[in-house]
Amino acid sequence: MPNERVLAEIKTKKIKFSPQSLTYINNHKISKNFILDTALVKGKINFKESKAQEVPCPRYTLYYGSLKIKFTKCKTWVTVDSIDH
């Protein structure tokens, strides 16, 4: 399944957080570990909202509960670009 493949690939890369995502984490008292170990593991990617074919780094939108997480997946790293609810 494409969702599981993308989530599995995330685990193999260094993950960075954008300033916007860090602001959301701090303001809503969510831990980075929750994002890394739960949301990015159990979330569902909305491929209609994603740009999976974008070169060189595809961009994805993932939902976990009420969280909407946008991230960019490059060859050696992933950036959590934004977190919203």
Strand partners of residue 73: 78
pLDDT level of residue 1 (50, 70, 90 thresholds): confident
Helix, strand or coil, per DSSP, at residue 11: helix
Residue 64's identity, in one-letter code, is Y
Condensed to tens digits (0 to 9), the pLDDT of residues 48-74 reads: 999 999 999 999 999 999 999 999 999
Domain 2-84, architecture per CATH? 2-Layer Sandwich (3.30)
Integer Cα distance of 51 and 81 in angstroms:
14
Assign 3-state DSSP to the chain and report helix, strand, coil percentages, each to 5. Answer: 35, 35, 30
Whether the model pTM is above 0.85:
yes
Would the pLDDT of 39 be above 80? yes
